[in-house]
Amino acid sequence: MARINNKTFYISAIKQHGYSAKGVNWISQETQELRFDILLELLPDDLSAFSVGDAGCGFGDLYTYMKKHLKIPKEYLGVDTLHEMCLISKEKTACSVLVADICKDELPTKDYYLCSGALNILTPFETFQFISNCYKSSKHGFIFNALYGDKQSETYNYITKEKIEKIAQELNVKRVLLRDDYLENDITVGFYR
């Protein structure tokens, strides 16, 4: 069972802030883009030969940011559980967008899966399911960010390096890269095959 209702969490933010970074519960557009920068640093410099799945794509902001910074993949697929988000993302990106429960549904295979922010309100069990599904559906790796630390919250999901390492062991991840030097209480992780 989810810690909080995913749909209510995002729909109420959209009503309050519109189709903006705050509308998907980011503190600001600057912190959203900083997280995007770190994700992109953990990908190959040239993405033109690779397919990318954006797990929890929201409004498609990551793809828009990739285009702006000329890190355009050969193929982009947005994936989100909320139908409303998928409609907006499809319109905004003009790319394929799939409505799916990333914790449970089979995902199309892509070279890389990325995730920015979608793990923040999941339970630890759902976090494992989400990471596992994205990693298993990637040919080269899964790169994601999450709230970092050993904090307890009724709303947010924090993860420690120990938990990340345990998940990596369970999934037989070949190589793990960690970045926790860009925002307080935030970590970006690369699970590579």
Token pair for residue 127? Answer: 């976090």
Could you give the CA distance from residue 140 to residue 13 in angstroms, rounded to a whole number? Answer: 34
Q: Which domains does the chain have, with CATH numbers?
A: 6-159+168-192 (3.40.50.150)
The 3-class secondary structure across 126-146, one letter per residue, is HHHHHHHHHHHCEEEEEEEEE
Question: How high is the pLDDT of residue 45?
Answer: 94
Question: How high is the pLDDT of residue 9?
Answer: 56
Question: How high is the pLDDT of residue 155?
Answer: 72
Q: Which residues of the chain have pLDDT under 50?
A: 1-2, 23
**Could you write out the DSSP letters of every residue in 140-165?**
EEEEEEEEESS---SS--EE-HHHHH
The 3-class secondary structure across 94-124, one letter per residue, is CCEEEECCCCCCCCCCEEEEEEECCCCCCCH
Is residue 29 classed as helix, strand or coil in its secondary structure? Answer: helix
Q: Is 100 exposed, middle or buried (0-12, 13-18, 19+ CB in 10 A)?
A: middle
User: Cα–Cα distances in Å, from 2 out to 19, 82, 123, 127, 159?
Assistant: 24, 14, 6, 10, 16
